[in-house]
């Protein structure tokens, strides 16, 4: 290993804690000294079937040896197959799919398509959600986006459905809104879930006027919330699903998926989204295998059980040790909010100490929240080891 680690531009606020990772296997990372770390963050919530899953690895290497990439005018069967399997999984048989590289791109494709397909180009979204690093979704310009702060709705005092009698609801300019881009849990990484009633009413109202409902499943997809997709907790069928992260299990592939009829609303007007790695055979082979692995190995149920076990352990720590203000969770997507001072010094130190003890959790700079998003394949021994360490380190912190 090079002694210096200063050639790379790194994302600010994230100090380099382990500069010498050489290998990964399922939930474990190993450094050059052979030290093992349990990765409860799955990279950036991506390695959902475990690092280096043998089947995904085989699909990747075999496809790379055959053909990794081709031009726009040439097709490879695996790409069409992956698209069909993803469409079937989202309940969009007969719909359309495009494979891209990142979650940001999948969301962007969905947004551009929706804006071209509807007559009212304003899209609604939740003020605290995150959709990507670039493109219109990251800019959130006022002429393109209506941002809604759902915080008051979390403690809605009214029993009935949302209506004009509510000051928050009546402030939504439905007559100008052509679509709703919904992140069904997470909210800028903090694991927050907008309330059912609000979402049910928004979906119905936007649909009634011909609007489209897009869900951003980049983080919540493929078992992260204990179901295949986060929107399934809300009981509606979306028009567009954007996926990424877990779909590639660490390989950069994403997909924007369209229900039958949505693409047709473009009336033949193409969405001009040219990108070199669009519908690449290599990404398609990986995505197809990841989805098959999740189904074959019953990983949605396994991940949900792991989430339940971790949550119960954390609740016990909260009761016994304290220092935890709140735990928010859905399946194996968990946030632990610590009782911390502004600036989150305790959380930063605690996060480092956990790494020192061999446990990697997720952290957002300056916020008192640790994220726990393990692979769906995490072993019970790793969960027990983590909980015991978490309790001991927290008690000492």
Ligand X SMILES: Cc1ncc(COP(=O)(O)O)c(C=O)c1O
What residues make contact with ligand X under the rule CB under 6 A? Answer: 102-104, 107, 130-133, 183, 186, 216, 218-219, 244-245
> What CA–CA distance (Å, rounded) separates 185 from 166?
24
Measure the N-to-C terminal CA separation of the chain; round to a whole number of Å: 32
CB of 373 to ligand X, least distance (A): 11
φ/ψ of residue 388, rounded to 5: -65, -45
> What CA–CA distance (Å, rounded) separates 97 from 376?
25
Tokens standing for 255?
Answer: 């997909």
CB of 189 to ligand X, least distance (A): 6
Smaller CB separation from ligand X, 245 or 318: 245
Smaller CB separation from ligand X, 130 or 234: 130
Smaller CB separation from ligand X, 137 or 354: 137
Q: 3-class SS at 150?
A: coil
Smaller CB separation from ligand X, 113 or 186: 186
Strand partners of residue 360: 39
DSSP 163: -
> What CA–CA distance (Å, rounded) separates 320 from 392?
11
> What CA–CA distance (Å, rounded) separates 375 from 279?
26
Point out the residue whose Cβ comes nearest to ligand X: 103
CB of 41 to ligand X, least distance (A): 12
CB of 272 to ligand X, least distance (A): 20
Smaller CB separation from ligand X, 111 or 383: 111
> What CA–CA distance (Å, rounded) separates 81 from 87?
10
Smaller CB separation from ligand X, 104 or 205: 104
Tokens standing for 301?
Answer: 């149920």
Smaller CB separation from ligand X, 252 or 318: 252
The tally of CA atoms less than 13 A away on the side-chain side of residue 217 is 32
What is the torsional sign of CA 323, 379, 253, 214?
A: negative
CB of 222 to ligand X, least distance (A): 13
Angle, in degrees to the nearest 10, between helices 281-296 and 54-66: 160
Contact call for residues 229 and 214 (beta carbons, < 8 A): no
Smaller CB separation from ligand X, 101 or 294: 101
Contact call for residues 13 and 365 (beta carbons, < 8 A): yes
**Among 291, 362, 276, 383, residue whose Cα is nearest residue 81:** 291
CB of 133 to ligand X, least distance (A): 5
CB of 226 to ligand X, least distance (A): 17
């Amino acid at each position: 290993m090079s002694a210096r680690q200063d050639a790379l531009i790194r994302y600010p606020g994230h100090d380099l804690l382990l500069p010498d990772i050489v290998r990964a296997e399922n939930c474990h990372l190993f450094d050059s000294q052979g030290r093992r770390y349990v990765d409860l963050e799955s990279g950036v919530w991506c390695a959902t079937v475990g690092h280096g899953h043998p089947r995904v690895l085989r699909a990747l290497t075999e496809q790379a040896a055959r053909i990794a990439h081709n031009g726009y005018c040439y097709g490879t069967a695996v790409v069409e197959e992956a698209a069909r399997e993803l469409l079937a999984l989202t309940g969009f048989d007969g719909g359309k799919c495009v494979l891209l590289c990142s979650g940001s791109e999948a969301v962007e494709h969905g947004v551009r398509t929706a804006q071209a397909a509807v007559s009212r180009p304003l899209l609604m979204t939740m003020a605290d959600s995150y959709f990507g690093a670039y493109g219109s979704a990251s800019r959130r310009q006022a002429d393109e986006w209506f941002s809604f702060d759902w915080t008051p709705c979390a403690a809605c005092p009214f029993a009935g459905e949302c209506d004009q009698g509510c000051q928050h609801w009546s402030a939504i300019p439905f007559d100008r809104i052509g679509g709703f881009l919904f992140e069904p849990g997470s909210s800028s990484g903090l694991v927050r879930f907008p309330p059912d009633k609000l979402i049910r009413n928004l979906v119905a109202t936007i649909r009634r006027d011909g609007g489209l409902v897009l869900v951003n499943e980049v983080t919540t997809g493929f078992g992260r919330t204990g179901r295949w997709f986060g929107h399934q907790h809300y009981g509606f069928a979306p028009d567009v699903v954007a996926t990424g992260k877990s779909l590639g299990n660490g390989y950069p592939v994403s997909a924007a998926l369209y229900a039958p009829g949505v693409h047709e609303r473009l009336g033949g007007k193409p969405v001009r989204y040219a990108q070199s790695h669009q519908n690449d055979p290599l990404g398609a082979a990986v995505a197809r295998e990841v989805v098959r692995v999740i189904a074959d190995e019953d990983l949605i149920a396994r991940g949900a059980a792991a989430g339940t076990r971790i949550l119960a352990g954390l609740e016990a720590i909260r009761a016994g040790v304290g220092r935890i203000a709140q735990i928010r969770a859905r399946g194996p997507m968990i946030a632990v909010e610590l009782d911390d001072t502004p600036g989150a010094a305790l959380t930063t130190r605690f996060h480092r100490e956990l790494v020192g003890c061999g446990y990697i959790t997720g952290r957002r700079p300056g916020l008192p929240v640790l994220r726990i998003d393990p692979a769906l394949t995490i072993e019970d021994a790793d969960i027990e080891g983590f909980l015991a360490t978490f309790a001991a380190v927290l008690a000492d912190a």
